[in-house]
Amino acid sequence: MLRKEFLLQWRTRAQFMAVFVFGAASLLLFSFAIGPNAAALRTFSAGFLWLGLLLSSTLTLSESFHAEMENRALEGLLLIPTSPRAIYYAKAVANWLQLALLGVALIPVMVVLYDAAPSNPGQLLVTILLGSAGLAAPGTLYAAMTAQLRAKQTLLPLLFFPLIVPALLASVKATSLAVLGDPMGQGRSWITLLLAFVAIYWSLCGLLFGRVVEE
Amino acid sequence: MTNGVITGGWSYVWAAYGVTAAALLLYGATLFARLRRGDAR
Amino acid sequence: MIVMRERSLVPGMVLLFLAAWFGFAVALAKHYGLDVSLGISTGWQAAVAAVAGIIGAIWFFLSDQLSAARLLVILGVCCFLLGSWYGLFVAPPETYMGQVQRIMYVHVPTAWNALLAITFGFVAAVVFLFRSDWKWDARLEASIEVGVLLCFLLCCQGAIWAKPTWGVWWDWDPRLTTTAVLLFAFLGILALRRFVEDPMRRAVWSAVATIIAYIDVPIVYFSVKWWNSLHQQQSSPATVSSQFYLPLRMNAFGVLFIMTGFIMLRARIARERVEQELAPPLPARGQMQEAV
């Protein structure tokens, strides 16, 4: 199941490039919103990175069910004797890795545009991994829902954004500490919060996914 | 916490109560109107 | 399984009377020099009032009768008017906050009831997923809509309170910020309901979304609290001292009864709509006399 997802992702890697360009472009636009104030840009670099990642995630997430919708393959998938839960986790892991990759790819953009070289790259990496996991779990569930609706473009962010506020808060905070320095060692607590969010939502959404795709 | 006493402020109090009362009244009115429309059908 | 017979409203009315008696009649009488407390301590009075009020409201709610809903709304309006009169004109102004303190008499009840409405939505969502009973889908829709209304009011009241107190309309207080996030989350669910046409799918999806959103609430609260604490000291409104309990309690009952009545009425509207969607109305159909 996972292999199929990866195969799909590899085949649509042009898509990934496009989303990356979108992400980088949004990071550029954020700097125009603030102005050429190097200090301010550096201070808010973490926020911009995650906002860019969040906006890009709406693109990747809605795409993840596009293939199924195109060929009505969703019904076919459900006929295979795998539980819907397996489908969910395969898609969620694929989305997660794609978002994490996107996040990592955007780091150099952040470093260059905002003069935001991370003082603690390890923590930054962990934050990106956990934060994108936090986005992927509910995102995949809602992508499955909205893929079948007319208003999918508006509904996915509408449902998804308020939900991931804690993940966003924690990711931005942890990233900010990784970039600007963490004299009091608070980064660990934010990462713990992220971990808790990820644990809760990966289990909860997996549990509920079956109801979402049943006919 | 503020150091001194907040003087006046009645306008804010009226605003808060007013908004609440108005919203509840309006919503209640729509409910009753929809119910009446439903019964008439 | 709740059997839908014509349930008598009398026990509910007794409970509500008890709640009103110990909730504020006793204290009000004491204010004018009478003692009708029957020797029960104030702590117990408060407990009895709260429990009786909530169970009474639930009794009315489960009766599913239109008359019960209307009674609740009227009762609620009376309590709210009484509580507001007391809070605005009788209660003394507070030492530091002055007259602005009076906003608390409407803000705190709204807060309790907003949370109650959203919690009831969560309960309805869970029950619906287990029972697939349309009644609970209707209750889900109703409680979310009323909850959204109350959350919106909460944000307005909070901003109106914050302006004279802190000088800004929004001070990122964790509770208010969580309410704002809640507001958007549940508005999204209402939007979802609007865009899904198949009734069963709409019901299941909004139930799932409600569960996910509700579980998020404490997480959002703690993360915002933490996030905010690094910047400013806790800016919660001063806790209401015992002298000011009376208008607070009256308004709390008022909003509780209004809210419950509204949810009942709104659920009936939702139910009628689903019935229309599932089977087109026959001509000369009898009046919708059966239980909601």
Cβ contact (<8 Å) for B6 and C103?
A: no
Distance of alpha carbon C64 from alpha carbon C69, whole angstroms: 8
Work out the percent of chain A whose per-residue pLDDT is above 90: 50
Q: What are phi and psi of C281, to 5 degrees?
A: -65, 135
Which one has a higher pLDDT value, C31 or A58? A58
- Asked if A204 is an interface residue toward chain C (Cβ–Cβ < 8 A), one would say yes
Q: Which residues of C touch A (CB under 8 A)?
A: 129, 181-182, 184-185, 187-189, 191-192, 195-196, 204-205, 207-209, 211-213, 215-216, 219-220, 222-224, 226-227, 230
Whole-prediction pTM: 0.87
Cβ contact (<8 Å) for B9 and C269?
A: no
Q: Six-digit token pair at C152?
A: 């919106």
Judge whether residue C278 has pLDDT over 90: no
Comparing A79-93, A165-179, C222-236, the range with the smallest average pLDDT is C222-236
Classify burial at A81, counting beta carbons within 10 Å of its beta carbon; exposed 0-12, middle 13-18, buried 19 or more: exposed
Chain C meets chain B (3+ C-beta pairs below 8 A) = yes
Chain centre to alpha carbon of residue A45: 17
Judge whether residue A185 has pLDDT over 90: no
Sign of the torsion formed by the C-alpha atoms of C34, C37, C43 and C46 = negative
Judge whether residue C115 has pLDDT over 90: yes
- Asked if C102 is an interface residue toward chain B (Cβ–Cβ < 8 A), one would say yes
Residue burial C22-51, b: 16+ Cβ < 10 Å; e: rest: bbbbbbbeeeeeeeebeeeeeeebbebbbe
- A35-80 per-position pLDDT tens digit: 888 888 889 999 999 999 999 999 989 888 776 666 666 666 666 6
User: What value does the mean pLDDT of chain A take?
Assistant: 87
- Taking residues A14-20, report their average pLDDT: 87
Distance of alpha carbon C194 from alpha carbon A26, whole angstroms: 31
Q: What is the pLDDT of residue C242?
A: 53
Which one has a higher pLDDT value, C282 or C241? C282
Q: What is the pLDDT of residue C1?
A: 41
Comparing A104-108, C125-129, C228-232, C274-278, the range with the smallest average pLDDT is C228-232
Which one has a higher pLDDT value, C68 or A208? A208
**What SS3 class is residue C231?**
coil
Cβ contact (<8 Å) for B9 and C99?
A: yes
- Taking residues C215-239, report their average pLDDT: 75
Judge whether residue C4 has pLDDT over 60: no
Q: What is the pLDDT of residue C289?
A: 53
Q: What is the pLDDT of residue C240?
A: 53
- Taking residues A78-84, report their average pLDDT: 69
Judge whether residue A215 has pLDDT over 80: no
* Chains interfacing with B (3 or more CB pairs < 8 Å): C
Distance of alpha carbon C292 from alpha carbon C271, whole angstroms: 7
- Taking residues A92-97, report their average pLDDT: 91
Q: What is the pLDDT of residue C124?
A: 94
Q: What are phi and psi of A125, to 5 degrees?
A: -60, -45
Q: What is the pLDDT of residue C48?
A: 84
Work out the percent of chain C whose per-residue pLDDT is above 90: 38
Comparing A28-42, C152-166, C276-290, the range with the smallest average pLDDT is C276-290
- B1-40 per-position pLDDT tens digit: 444 556 667 888 889 999 999 999 999 999 999 988 877 6
